[in-house]
Each structure stands twice: as structure tokens, then as C-alpha cells.
Amino acid sequence: MSRSFSSKYITQLPPDPLFGLKARYVEDPRTDKIDLGIGAYRDNNGKPWILPSVRLAENLLQNSKDYNHEYLPISGLKQFTQAAAKVILGDDSKAIKEDRLVSIQSLSGTGALHVVSRFLKDFYKSDADPESLPTIYLSQPTWANHIQIFNFSGLKTAAYPYWDNATKSLDLDGFLKAIKDAPTGSVFLLHATAHNPTGLDPKPEQWKKILRAIDDNGHLPLFDSAYQGFSSGSLSKDSWAVREAVDGDYKFPILICQSFAKNVGMYGERVGAVHLILPEHDEALNKAAFSQLSKIIRAEISNPPSYGAKIVSLILNTPELKKQWEQDLITMSTRIGQMRLKLRDELVKLGTPGTWCLFGWFW
């Protein structure tokens, strides 16, 4: 039996919605163009902004006596993953104190989601039907790449109501009904902050109802955290939902996909982490989960990249650099808010059709 590559089986796909638009922008010869595609922070001149904390960390790293480009362990840079967990969970997190946390380094948030998709497919099992696979519930709408990531791993996705276009608000009743109606053991992907693409986040009391419904109906929450600190300027405020899920009175395990692309401006360095939080301490399960997550990393990328992780680790573990980073977050989030207010005011002034109001991260 012979085999070959053939256009009969290899079909050309359309360009990626986001990066395809970016390519068209670059090719456009007009000089009065503005890039509103891929979400990357720019300065007043439209240029990439390297955070002052990153510049300081790079200088420290490159001038350190042990600076090198050696391989990291399969699970990544431990100093980074430990510090990253404290950033998202808080220094006083119960999960950290009770040793219920398993963390590995990933290729930013997208890589974290991919690792999690493989982990869920292989290990999130039902004793009643071990061969069945969980359904991943995504908000309607959601980030363009979410569906593709999970479908690519062989998992089915479904949508839960989120944005009520008529009222420009959260469809909480529809959200809660979807949680109740979903098959037991489903996975609900939750945007930790700055919901993409709406920018509308649940209020704390709404989050409690959502998390309670997920727990009561036997589901698993999966948090996608891509904008912590970049959204409001406050690391703690932007991680409120995650910390409530971890430290509140809930019995579910939790998965977190964490990215440092936006909030440290390390877009191309692909710095991220996967955190698995178990409902109770189980040393054997901790070790088993760590080994299986590491196997996924080893099989796909061998080990994660080191440079960006070392930079972020220095920022998170050096008090002076962390203080500067927190100021950088305020600088970016404040300027973004001011720019949106000015644009909204101009749209209203011009009589642009539509209702122009600001909330959360986007309109």
C-alpha cells in the first residue's frame, strides 16, 4: 500500500482571523492606518513598549555570572512557576499552604490551554464511563482560538450564554441554566478577568453564584488568565474570581492557564504556566499529575524556553523589580482607560450610530 501527500486530503485553510488580519495590515500601503487587530500594548507613537521592569530584569540576567542558554527541566523553571502561582493565587493561598498545587511551565496561555486539553482528554475520567470525554463549555462569544484548541485535541465544545446583546450585560440566568443543564463532569472555561472579546466580567456576587452552580452540578472550572493586572492595574482585583474559587467553600478541582504575554509585555517569549489545584491534599495524586503533565511537555516541546521565564522570574522574585512591574501595570491600564474614554467621547461628539458606554476592558 503506497502513501503520498495529496491535495485530495490536504486542503488549504483560510487565514487565521487575527493573524490574517495582521498580515493584511502590514501589506496595506496606506500611511494613515491603525492596527486594531492583535491585542498588544503600544506607546504614544504606536511602537511596542518594553516595560521598565523588563529592561531592568534583562540587564540583571545578562550581566549575572551564571547567565547561560542551557535547557530547563521538562517542567520548566521552578522559581518561575512557584512565583507565578503566588501571583495568581495570592501569597496566603490555602492551596499553596496545604500543598494541593501542581504547576508546570507552558508556552504562554495558548500552550497552557493545549496542555490542559490533552490532560483533560486523557485523565478527567468518569468511573461510570471511563471512555467518555468531557465537553468543554465556552462563553458565547469567546476568544477566537478557544474552540480550535480543544477541537484539535479531540474534545467537543459547547457554548454557554454570556453576553446579552439587547441589554449589553451579562446573561447570568442563561449562564446558570447552562451550568445546570450540562452533563455532570463537564468543563466550564472561565475568563479570569477582562473577558475576551466583550470585556464584561461578572461582579463578585455573580461570580459566587456561577462557582456555586459549577460545584453543585459536579463540573470543573478552567480559568484562562491572560490579563491579570493588565485589566485594572491591580493583581489582586483581577484575580478575585480565581482566588474565590480556590479559597472558597467549594469541592471541585481547578485548572488555571496563566499567561505573561500581556501583563509583562513578553508577547513573543511565550511565558506561561499550568496550575492544577486539587480539592484536598493527596501526595500520590500530586506526583502522578505532575509526571503526566511533564510527559505532555516532553512529548511535544521537550522542555519550555528559558529566556522569558528567567526574566519574569526575576521580576516576580526581586522586590524592587516587582514593585516597578506593579507600577508598569498601572501605567498601561490607566493609559488604556484614558484612550478609550477619549475615543468614546469623540464617537459621541461625531454622532456615531450606536450606544457608546465603557465597562471592564472593552466596550
Give the residue numbers annotated as catalytic, written as ranges. Answer: 143, 224, 262
3-state secondary structure of 55: helix
The grid coordinates of residue 81 equal 512557576
- Bridge partners of 191, per DSSP, are 224
Q: Which of 42, 44, 57 is nearest to 323 (CA)?
A: 57
Q: List helix spans (H) across the chain.
A: 17-27, 52-62, 78-89, 94-97, 108-123, 146-152, 172-181, 204-216, 235-238, 240-247, 283-301, 307-317, 319-349
CA–CA separation, 175 and 103 (whole Å): 29
Give residue for cell 459547547.
158
CA-derived radius of gyration, the chain: 21
CB atoms within 10 A of CB 258: 30
Q: Which residues are paired to 274 by β-bridges?
A: 104, 257
Whole-number Å distance between alpha carbons of 108 and 121: 20
Partner residues linked to 106 by β-bridges: 272
Angle, helices 283-301/108-123, rounded to nearest 10 degrees: 120
Bridge-based pairing state of the strands 254-259 and 169-170:
unpaired
For residue 263, count other CB atoms closer than 10 A to its CB: 26
Whether a cis peptide bond, with omega within 30° of 0, leads into 141 is yes
Angle at 204 between CA 202 and CA 210, to 5 degrees: 65
| Residue 24 grid cell | 493584511
